[in-house]
Amino acid sequence: MKIVKFILSLLFGLMFINAGLNKFFNYMPMEKPTPEQMKVFSAFGEIAWLMPLVGAVEIIGGLLFIFPKTRALGAIVILPVMVGIVAHVFTLDKSSMGMAIAGVMFLINLWMIIDNKEKYKHLVS
């Protein structure tokens, strides 16, 4: 089970590192957005610092998620971004592939948070 957890964590972390780097270097092609998505993207574009911040959080969270010692922190750092991804995919995007990927990624994130719950007890007591 330890190897499965490491492989899933590695893939999860690498996906977020890739997504974060794409925010800075724009190397992955994007599908044609719907008019609703264009409104959201233009609103995000008005806030010049938002996408670099999300990209930095994705890179840092992805790096933290890969290593077992920092995985608990990485899971918490990535959680708000993951919630935003799930909310976007299930409300605006609605592609079955996107829903499947976002759902699996969200479950992996929740699994790591639950798996490391002992590390969080000091924060809420």
Give 33-80 pLDDT, tens digit per residue: 889 889 988 998 899 999 999 999 999 999 999 999 999 999 999 999
Q: Which two tokens stand for residue 60?
A: 């840092």
State the average pLDDT for the chain: 95
Query: Which stretch of DSSP H or E encloses residue 46?
Result: helix 35-46
Least confident segment among 15-19, 28-32, 50-54, 96-100: 28-32
Distance CA 81, CA 16 (A): 10
Percent of residues, the chain, with pLDDT higher than 90 = 82
Rounded to whole angstroms, how far apart are CA atoms 17 and 59? Answer: 4
Average pLDDT on 111-123 reads 94
First to last CA, the chain: 30
Q: What is the pTM of this model?
A: 0.93
Structure confidence at residue 29 (pLDDT): 93
